[in-house]
Amino acid sequence: MMGPDVVAPMNPSKLPNDEREKRMWTKIRNGQSIENPDEMSDEYFESLSNLMLQQADSELAGAFGYVPWIMRAPTTEEKLAVANIVKDEVRHARAMYRLLEEIGINAESHVAGHDYTMRVTADGDELKENRAADDRRVNIFYYTIDSWADFVMFQFCMDRGAGHQLEDVRKSTFGPWRREIERIFKEEMMHVNHGDFWVKKMAIDKSTKAEIQGALDKWFARTMNIFGRPETNRNQLYRRYGLKSRDNDDVRKAFSNEVRLKCIEWGLNLPDWKPDWERIAEDGVISG
């Protein structure tokens, strides 16, 4: 299910890498923001562009996945709510692609090269940590949203998980991204609140509780997989450059703890989840 390797964008700056690296560390150590490619080492530029492409592609793919629910939402009020959510997600994607363009990446060419409507086949296949194509979306955006319970649980789980990840971006050393995230973050929290409203509504109603529990069983595990493995070299690099501030597992735990409290409050059962790397270790394939 893995797509081909994606070639990392190259820093367009004409300055030598060692000069850019010196400028970068001077600003980071002084608590100043990095603002343009002339202040980024090649490694910083590659790390930053990878993270921003992941977010941009996820926002766009997410918007496309929501579109059918404008028509299928249960009331006219909800049709308008979903339409506004789609609009928000497309705006978030455009804002991120604009930032990428400002650091020298041809965003329109990138978008034209991928199919953001593509979804995995409905045969029960689970991607786990794998990818289904060579765009940069987080892999949860390859799944179809098949019911209203799926739609609101996606917001409850995935939008909440994304919010926890964006908390780190609010401290990012790259100033333009950090400032844009403040606008995006507020709208994402509105999406989470929409999901919370409906999940609670369906959980306390005996006629819909089983349906929303089934959606939780599906989307909780998928969301837990988005955060990545603990203490990866890539995550350590992101933290070194101030592009992230926490380990993947710390973000995942913050997310799952918040979901657990909601489940206790609304009488839902939090699904068991064990990552593949722990299963492999227990089977003796990996030691240490």
What pLDDT is attached to residue 237? 96
Q: What is the pLDDT of residues 246-257, one digit of tens each?
A: 999 999 999 999
Tokens standing for residue 206 = 């005996």
Residue with token string 């950090």: 178
Q: Which of 47-61, 163-177, 182-196, 266-280 has the lowest mean pLDDT?
A: 266-280
The angle subtended at Cα 13 by Cα 7 and Cα 19, nearest 5°, is: 110
Taking the C-alpha atoms of residue 28 and residue 23, their distance in angstroms, rounded to an integer, is: 9
Residue with token string 């509105």: 190
Domains in the chain and their CATH numbers?
A: 38-117+136-271 (1.20.1260.10)
For residue 278, the tally of other CB atoms under 10 A from its CB is 11
Taking the C-alpha atoms of residue 216 and residue 285, their distance in angstroms, rounded to an integer, is: 31
Q: Answer for the pair 99, 93: CB distance below 8 angstroms, yes or no.
A: no
Taking the C-alpha atoms of residue 232 and residue 277, their distance in angstroms, rounded to an integer, is: 12
What pLDDT is attached to residue 283? 40
Tokens standing for residue 33 = 């923001």
What pLDDT is attached to residue 81? 98
Q: Confidence band (pLDDT; 50, 70, 90) for 95?
A: very high
Q: Confidence band (pLDDT; 50, 70, 90) for 3?
A: very low
Tokens standing for residue 77 = 């009020």
What pLDDT is attached to residue 52? 97
What pLDDT is attached to residue 120? 87
Q: At what angle do helices 160-169 and 175-204 cross, to 10 degrees?
A: 160
Taking the C-alpha atoms of residue 145 and residue 158, their distance in angstroms, rounded to an integer, is: 12
Taking the C-alpha atoms of residue 75 and residue 245, their distance in angstroms, rounded to an integer, is: 41
- State percent of the chain over pLDDT 90: 85
**Contacts with 70 (C-beta within 8 Å, 6 or more apart), sequence order:** 79, 82, 83, 86
pTM of the shown model: 0.90
Q: Confidence band (pLDDT; 50, 70, 90) for 229?
A: very high
